Structure 1
Amino acid sequence: MVPRILKQIRAKVRQRQDVMTLHAEEEMSDDDLSIFDVERSLLTGEIVERPKDAGTGEWKYLVKGNTVAGDEMMTVAKISPTGKLVIITVYRL
């Protein structure tokens, strides 16, 4: 299942079917990351964890990847009911 979801995440990034939460934008700025870093990490990274949100029952995916400069980062994302990829938060490791 995880490889299928990773393919789906990558396709949504390539097709620009993704949205970023305000929290993710703030964290991206705080950690001096760009949208290119987030995209690269999602396109080349791996899912390292798949927790289920206790409140909503939705699956979240923690994708560990690298920035454009090669630094490690984590992206937390989910697939929304509308089919969009929602980037919940991002941070450097």
Structure 2
Amino acid sequence: MSTLEVKTGQVHQLLDKTAAALGVTGRRVTVLVDALVDDRLVARYAHPTDGRSTIIVITEAGLAQQRKGMATTSAHYLRRIRRPSPLRE
């Protein structure tokens, strides 16, 4: 199995570190990246100097999806903050 690097901006992270951070196996991360590539949310490129490695770059569609998710999450928490607490009544 090749080493997988995740690239976000200027940050590279190896598959095993990504897997450890997520608490899953390297294989699970590979399956996840495959699905993200299929959905065109990330693109996969050969590492320029390490033939065993792959670089993953988030696409414009992936960035748009990320912004959408962040906006939805923010809106959810703002609604919860503004809702009166039953304990205050």
Same fold (TM over 0.5): no
Q: Which has the higher contact order (CA 8 A, sep 6+)?
A: 1
Instruction: Compare the two structures and name the one with the higher strand fraction.
Output: 1
Instruction: Compare the two structures and name the one with the higher helix fraction.
Output: 2
* Higher gyration radius (CA): 2
- With the length of structure 1 as denominator, give the TM-score of the two structures: 0.32
- With the length of structure 2 as denominator, give the TM-score of the two structures: 0.33
